């Protein structure tokens, strides 16, 4: 795994010199501390910082084909590179390395841009084609690896992280009011937007071709579900067997590495199953890692230890307390590069740090199973709300919702009227494409009331949820209810938040690569084709996964109630001994000067939270949103983050100014 950065010089951009390129790369050196290099030609510079995992001795980048007319800077892994290499060797290609990077270059030489459909992996890469004078930027199907860009005066600049782009003297940081509205609705921006004005991402499953004459972005893959009643005709038993074969192969190819591969154990079904499969494929001693909480309401250590003992892994588990979450939160925001509504990424940052301290570079995790197989409560909640909407005045139907959220005490004693306040938002508007997520997104409206008048004026009449409804109306018209919810959860929440702020950015902050067997595109396409009842049978989530592996993992884990991964919020930030930075960024003068939030409304919220009164879920989210946005402003707009020292020594530079 690595980081990349670069840009074009089509308009004689003399500012993209070695000094700037080195600074851009040095700023993301945490992504690749092992080696780094730059390729320069008349019209382009490509750079790479390398975390060496495959072909440690000869996989240095940037790298070219034998004719030196195709160059690549690459971040990621192509897990089927061994099979693709054999195919190319049969066509007469000779290799100078054993890396998957060289396979990509030669696949492009042989097949052109369509070769990306043959790749099974997680990647973001740049290719410079000297023959056509085109820069090509590619991102994997599900957006596991990030890739950002900006267009400035006819040139493109790109990088694995936004902070790298801000090292260019012509690129300035400014928060986007519209993006803030999107983030406080969806927990993320809608691709290709980012938190910053004029900074965009290559959307998942897309590539860009850029030259003097054109900037073209094309989609090569999308998440598609079959029309209602046109799902796969496989029986449940057949589907279960095929699913097991696909998942086992997905795990097998993700174990390919020239360094040890470890695994995360969260205490849930998904990571326990991936651990089980690893032990079957590689019976050697497996290292596993987990994080728990001193706050017992959030802790899953009991199940993590149970899984470790069952599979006899070499396990490292530790707990994080509330003050430690607060301590690392500024670094979390520095790496996430966006406002957050939850503290959940903070423990993941600490977990990857512990992994790196144990000299591990690669971990396998269970992300993706909940999205593919309807594991989240939002899918069951949607099913109940549809059922309830058929008899909107029923006193009994809303009571089903109590079963979903045992960790929200206010709901356990609630009657039908209270439940209607919690869950009745737009209950009868079941025809809306985004019906499944309206309730979650409406929570964001409670955060938006803290915006300053200036932000409100800039976003007057802007409704992100309505905008998305309008976009998806035609796409969703033939989808069943579960498929609509799964598309939204996968394409927006998983890609934009889970794989970013909790995934890539928290792992790579500590030079750790996460690998996700459930997100193998073959498995994704298979699961989307299935009968919805195979995934959510009644209110039994991940039904197919459970049946496929019911005898392979401990019964206590298999039978445990679903527990959402969460981390403490209020008790992390509000206490007598609150961290000094919290007092600074939530100071009334700071809030006023930044101009994003109404300082009086923020003061009232803080006074309530400090009074030891019980806070609501939305108030906790508002606190996180305000704190994280204020930190983001401080780190990027006030440039506090750029005061961190960067090492600019020993970067290898290849100059190629031949025609």
The string over 244-268, giving b where at least 16 C-beta atoms fall within 10 Å of a residue's C-beta and e elsewhere, is bebbebbbbbbbbbeeebbbbbbbb
Among candidates 167, 185, 316, which has minimal Cα distance to 618?
Answer: 185
Q: DSSP 3-state assignment of 634?
A: helix
Q: Is 322 exposed, middle or buried (0-12, 13-18, 19+ CB in 10 A)?
A: buried
- Asked if omega into 19 is within 30° of 0 (cis), the reply is no
- For the chain, count helices (H), then strands (E): 28, 18
Query: How far apart are the C-alpha atoms of 546 and 550, rounded to whole Å?
Result: 5
DSSP string, 459-495: TTT--HHHHHHHHHHHHHTTS-HHHHHHHHIIIIIII
Reference 378, options 469, 485, 276, 453; nearest CA is 485
Q: What one-character-per-residue DSSP string does 338-381 give?
A: S--S-STHHHHHHHHHHHHHTT--EEE--TTHHHHTT-SHHHHH
Question: 469: closest CA among 414, 508, 430?
Answer: 430
Q: Is the dihedral of CA 94, 96, 101, 102 positive or negative?
A: negative
Rounded to 5°, angle at Cα 429 from 424 and 432: 125
Look at residues 191, 154, 149, 198 and name the one whose alpha carbon lies nearest to residue 172: 198
Structure tokens at 374: 């309807």
Please identify every residue annotated as catalytic. Answer: 2
As given in the structure block, the two tokens for residue 447 are: 């955060």
259-262 LR contacts (CB < 8 Å, sep 24+): 259/52, 259/53, 259/56, 259/360, 259/361, 259/362, 260/287, 260/360, 260/361, 260/362, 261/362, 261/363, 261/364, 261/515, 262/286, 262/287, 262/288, 262/289, 262/355, 262/358, 262/360, 262/362, 262/363, 262/364
Cα–Cα nearest to 589, from 636, 639, 642, 630? 630
Is residue 454 within 8 Å of 599, Cβ to Cβ?
no
For the chain, the maximum distance between any two Cα atoms, rounded to a whole number of angstroms, is 77
Residue labelled with tokens 């690392």? 328
């Amino acid at each position: 795994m690595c980081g990349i950065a670069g840009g074009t010089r089509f308009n004689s951009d003399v500012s993209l010199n070695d000094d700037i390129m080195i600074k851009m790369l040095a700023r993301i050196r945490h992504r690749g501390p092992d080696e780094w290099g730059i390729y320069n030609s008349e019209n382009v510079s490509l750079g790479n910082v390398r975390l060496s995992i495959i072909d440690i001795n000869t996989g240095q980048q940037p790298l070219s084909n034998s004719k030196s007319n195709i160059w690549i800077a690459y971040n990621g892994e192509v897990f089927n590179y061994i099979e693709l290499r054999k195919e190319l060797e049969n066509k007469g290609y000779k290799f100078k390395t054993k890396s998957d990077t060289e396979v990509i270059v030669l696949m492009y030489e042989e097949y052109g841009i369509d070769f990306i459909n043959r790749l099974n992996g997680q990647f973001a890469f740049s290719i410079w084609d000297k023959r056509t004078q085109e820069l090509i930027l590619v991102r994997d199907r599900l957006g596991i690896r990030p890739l950002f860009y900006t267009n400035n005066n006819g040139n493109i600049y790109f990088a694995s992280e936004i902070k790298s782009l801000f090292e260019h003297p012509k690129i300035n940081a400014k928060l986007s009011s519209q993006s803030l509205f999107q983030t406080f609705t969806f927990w993320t921006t809608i691709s290709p937007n980012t938190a910053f004005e004029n900074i965009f991402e290559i959307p998942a499953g897309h590539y860009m071709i850029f030259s003097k004459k054109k900037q073209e972005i094309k989609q090569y893959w999308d998440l598609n579900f079959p029309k209602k009643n046109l799902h796969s005709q496989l029986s449940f038993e057949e589907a279960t067997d095929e699913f097991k074969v696909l998942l086992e192969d997905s795990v097998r190819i993700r174990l390919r590495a020239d360094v040890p591969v470890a695994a995360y154990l969260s205490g849930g079904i998904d990571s326990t199953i991936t651990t089980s499969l690893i032990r079957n494929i590689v019976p050697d001693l497996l290292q596993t890692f987990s994080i728990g909480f001193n706050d017992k309401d959030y802790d899953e250590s009991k199940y993590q230890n149970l899984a470790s003992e069952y599979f006899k892994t070499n396990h490292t588990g530790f707990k994080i307390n509330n003050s430690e979450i607060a301590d690392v939160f500024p670094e979390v925001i520095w790496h996430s590069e966006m406002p957050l509504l939850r503290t959940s990424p903070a423990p993941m940052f600490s977990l990857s740090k512990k992994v790196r301290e144990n000299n591990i570079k690669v971990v396998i995790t269970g992300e993706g199973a909940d999205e593919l197989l309807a594991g989240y409560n939002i899918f069951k909640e949607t099913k109940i709300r549809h059922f309830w909407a058929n008899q909107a005045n029923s006193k009994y139907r809303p009571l089903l919702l109590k079963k979903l959220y045992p960790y929200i005490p206010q709901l356990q004693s609630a009657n039908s009227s209270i439940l209607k306040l919690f869950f009745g938002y737009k209950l009868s508007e079941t025809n809306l494409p985004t019906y499944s997520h309206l309730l979650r997104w409406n929570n964001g409206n409670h955060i938006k009331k803290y915006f300053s008048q200036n932000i409100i004026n800039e976003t007057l009449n802007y409704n992100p949820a309505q905008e998305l409804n309008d976009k998806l109306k035609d796409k969703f018209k033939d989808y069943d209810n579960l498929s609509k919810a799964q598309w939204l959860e996968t394409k927006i929440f998983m890609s934009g938040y889970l794989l970013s702020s909790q995934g890539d950015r928290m792992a790579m902050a500590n030079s750790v690569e996460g690998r996700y067997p459930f997100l193998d595109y073959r498995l994704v396409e298979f699961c989307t084709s299935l009968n919805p009842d195979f995934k959510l049978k009644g209110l039994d989530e991940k039904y197919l996964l459970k049946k496929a592996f019911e005898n392979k993992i401990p019964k206590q884990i298999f039978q445990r109630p679903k527990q959402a991964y969460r981390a403490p919020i209020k008790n992390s930030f509000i206490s007598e001994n609150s961290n000094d930075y919290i007092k600074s960024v939530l100071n009334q003068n700071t809030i006023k000067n930044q101009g994003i939030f109404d300082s009086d409304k923020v003061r009232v919220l803080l006074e309530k939270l400090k009074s030891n009164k019980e806070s609501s879920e939305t108030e906790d989210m508002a606190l996180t949103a305000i704190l994280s946005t204020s930190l983001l402003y401080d780190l990027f707009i006030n440039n506090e983050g750029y005061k961190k020292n960067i090492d600019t020594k020993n970067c290898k530079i290849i100059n190629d100014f031949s025609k």
